[in-house]
Amino acid sequence: MKTIITGDRPTGKMHLGHYFGSIQNRVKMQYDYDTYILIADVQALTDNFDNPEKVRNSVRELALDYLASGIDPKHSHIYIQSLIPEVAELTVYFSNLVTVSRLYRNPTTKHEAGQKKDKFGESGETITYGFLGYPVSQAADITALDGDVVPVGEDQVPHIEQTREIARKFNSIYGETFKEPEAVLSETPRIKGLDGNEKMGKSLGNAIYLADNEAEITKKVMSAVTDPSKIKKDDPANPDICMVYYYHKLLKNENLDTVCSECNAGSRGCVACKKELIKVMLEFLEPIQERRKYYEEHPEEVEKILKEGTEAARARAKEVMQRVRKNMKLDYFE
């Protein structure tokens, strides 16, 4: 069986963008792969080193979101990154194999640096060594557990590419040690926001969280962007430029054809259409929220899942690191 290594930073609640971008794919794949899902608390600290409270609380929230979404602890190991010291060790060895200019060229970190209003490579005002180097630690996350495939959102592809480069370089210097993992993207690697933005994101203010209640969903859906040429309730409109229709489609509304034809014909008002979407969305979220509630009420189960997942991941990393130390001639007393 091939191995999946993937995960997310614990920095807040998960939204539909995460769900369709990567989580749904992991849920589907977990039955056919040896699956390890990491809660990347060390990586979260690269941005939040001065807010350990936030990272700590988000670890639990992320575990709940995973379990709620259908990550099944019988098929997947969920583990905490900081509890695998072998990964930190491997990160140090890898850091020799990556040039600083290569790190500056990573488009994802470049974009994130831009959000911090730092001109990447020109000023070191806010960009720390840890932030610049997090793709190296991500490469260690994946290779320390011998990962084959990495189901992630599209923003992570540059990191997996860098992981492959590092693995290749390591192998060429120290002998065949690592596989080159592959990124796997979902059918919908990026979903649009109800506001028409190309992307859903917390910082964009258009996120629909998996844990949102009816009042929150209603507020968000009612303010969705529709075909601007439709002024009156019975004006015909074009569903292809309507975000409400986009979500009917995304959430697989069974009446999709009716939604489309009524919208085209002008026999469907936007308010009614939004109300139908609220219903579809709540139905979609119901099983997710039910599972979340169960695990919220059973924190001891969540703790056990994380503990066992972490033990399994650590056992694997220990084995891989023996191989690494041997190949690097660091196996002094063995």
Separation of alpha carbons 123 and 297, rounded Å? 48
Give me the long-range contacts of 251-256 (CB less than 8 A, separation at least 24).
Answer: 251/277, 251/280, 251/281, 251/284, 253/277, 253/280
- For ligand TRP, the closer of residues 139 and 324 by Cβ is 139
- Using CB under 6 A as the binding criterion, the count of chain residues that bind ligand TRP stands at 14
| Phi, psi of 190, deg, nearest 5 | -140, 130
Separation of alpha carbons 155 and 107, rounded Å? 9
Could you tell me the smallest distance in angstroms from the CB atom of residue 76 to ligand TRP?
14
Q: Segment contacting ligand TRP (CB under 6 A): 23-31, 91-99, 135-143, 216-224?
A: 135-143
Give the residue among 116, 142, 144 at the shortest CA–CA distance from 128: 116
Q: Which of 47, 86, 141, 262 binds ligand TRP (CB under 6 A)?
A: 141
Q: Which of 16, 40, 67, 237 binds ligand TRP (CB under 6 A)?
A: 40
Q: Segment contacting ligand TRP (CB under 6 A): 118-126, 134-142, 249-257, 268-276?
A: 134-142
Q: Which of 9, 220, 292, 314 binds ligand TRP (CB under 6 A)?
A: 9
Could you tell me the smallest distance in angstroms from the CB atom of residue 156 to ligand TRP?
6
Q: Which amino acid is at 273?
A: C
Cβ atoms of residues 289 and 210 within 8 Å: yes
Q: Which of 3, 4, 8, 120 binds ligand TRP (CB under 6 A)?
A: 8
Q: Which of 3, 4, 7, 224 binds ligand TRP (CB under 6 A)?
A: 7
Q: Segment contacting ligand TRP (CB under 6 A): 5-13, 94-102, 193-201, 318-326?
A: 5-13
User: Taking CB under 6 A as the rule, does residue 310 contact ligand TRP?
Assistant: no
User: Taking CB under 6 A as the rule, does residue 5 contact ligand TRP?
Assistant: yes
- For ligand TRP, the closer of residues 70 and 158 by Cβ is 158
Could you tell me the smallest distance in angstroms from the CB atom of residue 109 to ligand TRP?
10
* Window 78-107: residues binding ligand TRP (CB under 6 A): none
Separation of alpha carbons 151 and 145, rounded Å? 15
- For ligand TRP, the closer of residues 83 and 217 by Cβ is 83
Measured in whole angstroms, how far is the alpha carbon of residue 243 from the centre of its chain?
23
User: Taking CB under 6 A as the rule, does residue 193 contact ligand TRP?
Assistant: no
Residue with tokens 């109300």: 275
Separation of alpha carbons 37 and 66, rounded Å? 9
User: Taking CB under 6 A as the rule, does residue 43 contact ligand TRP?
Assistant: yes
Cβ atoms of residues 317 and 309 within 8 Å: no
CB atoms < 10 A from the CB of 290, how many? 10
**275 by DSSP, 3-state: which?**
helix
109 Cβ neighbours under 8 A, 6+ residues apart: 103, 120, 131, 132, 134, 135, 158
User: Taking CB under 6 A as the rule, does residue 150 contact ligand TRP?
Assistant: yes
Measured in whole angstroms, how far is the alpha carbon of residue 286 from the centre of its chain?
21
Query: Per DSSP, which regions of 157-286 are E strands?
Result: 182-184
* Window 152-191: residues binding ligand TRP (CB under 6 A): 152, 156
Separation of alpha carbons 203 and 82, rounded Å? 26
Q: Which of 35, 46, 76, 138 binds ligand TRP (CB under 6 A)?
A: 138
Q: Segment contacting ligand TRP (CB under 6 A): 2-10, 171-179, 204-212, 281-289?
A: 2-10
* Window 203-242: residues binding ligand TRP (CB under 6 A): none
Q: Which residues bind ligand TRP (CB under 6 A)?
A: 5-9, 38, 40, 43, 138, 141-142, 150, 152, 156
